[in-house]
């Protein structure tokens, strides 16, 4: 089996590697294959941007709700184990209850739990042999990568009226969440409906540009996303945050 390349000092290394290797050898363990997301840099100085990463969305149904996982591979090493796995435990209405991540690229793993009232987040973050915890009180529903699109679908009719909804986007590596506002975009291609997800605070907008996601109007399957993504892009001797275009290749009849 191919070894995971250039691993940083990962937390709880045997368990972390076990998680990545298990999903590499038996991806069906994460559930039904919903789609692939082909990740390209949003801007590229030489014209067409090459594919950098690909991730699968997998979904399992449980008696208490849904577990959606995003399993990311480096496009340059598609046969190697994944570099990032993010999973969201949700109710059937995509209400987030727990978020887990293993990020081999940045060298951390951890979880975020949402209290019963949806008003407090509990963070656990591990890097190497160190563990940090934090709590945050929130004033809007929490979302993560695997739950964001479903949250939009649950509020489709409300957003179609021109109303906005606020969410708190989880950033596990920073042990916090940031406020974002979701609105229906005024312009989209025929047969598509688009939404923008914009940071509420001006100082967050300086670092993160508004996100945009497009759905098929008839099927409500996601077609394209533009904005910040979990994997980072290597620049020189380090890594930089990546703003990307993600094109989706559907493997299930409907989005779940």
Tell me which residue range forms the domain holding 83: 13-250
> In a 3-state reduction of DSSP, which class is residue 217?
coil
In a domain, residue 5? The reply is no
Rounded Cα–Cα distance for residues 110 and 127 (Å): 9
In a domain, 7, yes or no: no
Instruction: Kindly state whether residue 29 falls inside one of the protein's structural domains.
Output: yes
Question: Looking at the 3D structure of the chain, how many domains does it have?
Answer: 1
HSE-up (13 A, CA, CB side) for residue 30: 27
Whether 6 is covered by a domain: the verdict is: no
pTM for the predicted model, two decimal places = 0.89
Per-residue pLDDT of the chain (256 residues; tens, 9 = 90+): 233 333 334 444 445 555 666 666 677 777 999 999 999 998 766 667 889 999 999 999 988 899 999 999 999 998 888 999 999 999 999 999 999 999 999 999 999 999 999 999 999 999 988 999 999 999 999 999 999 999 999 999 999 999 999 999 999 999 999 999 999 999 889 999 999 999 999 999 999 999 999 999 999 999 999 999 999 998 877 889 999 999 999 999 999 9
| Residue 1, domain member (yes or no) | no
Cβ contact 167:180 at 8 Å: yes
């Amino acid at each position: 089996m191919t070894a995971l390349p250039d691993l940083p000092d990962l937390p709880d290394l045997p368990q972390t590697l076990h998680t990545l290797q298990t999903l590499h050898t038996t991806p069906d363990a994460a559930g039904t294959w919903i789609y692939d997301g082909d990740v390209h840099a949003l801007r590229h100085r030489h014209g067409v941007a090459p594919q950098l990463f690909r991730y699968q969305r997998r979904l399992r149904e449980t008696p208490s709700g849904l577990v959606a996982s995003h399993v990311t591979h480096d496009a340059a090493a598609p046969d190697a184990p994944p570099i990032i796995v993010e999973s969201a435990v949700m109710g059937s209405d995509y209400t987030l209850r727990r978020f887990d991540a293993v990020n081999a690229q940045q060298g951390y793993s951890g979880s975020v739990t949402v209290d019963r009232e949806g008003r407090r987040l509990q963070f656990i973050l591990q890097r190497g042999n160190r563990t940090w915890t934090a709590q945050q009180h929130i004033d809007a529903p929490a979302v993560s990568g695997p739950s964001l699109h479903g949250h939009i679908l649950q509020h489709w009719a409300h957003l179609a009226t021109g109303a906005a909804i606020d969410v708190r986007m989880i950033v596990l590596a920073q042990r916090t969440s940031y406020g974002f506002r979701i609105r229906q975009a005024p312009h989209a291609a025929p047969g598509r409906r688009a939404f923008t997800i914009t940071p509420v605070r001006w100082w967050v907008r300086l670092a993160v540009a508004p996100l945009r996601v497009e759905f098929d109007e008839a099927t409500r399957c996601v077609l394209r996303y533009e904005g910040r993504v979990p994997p980072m892009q290597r620049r020189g001797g380090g890594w930089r945050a990546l703003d990307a275009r993600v094109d989706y290749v559907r493997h299930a009849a409907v989005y779940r």
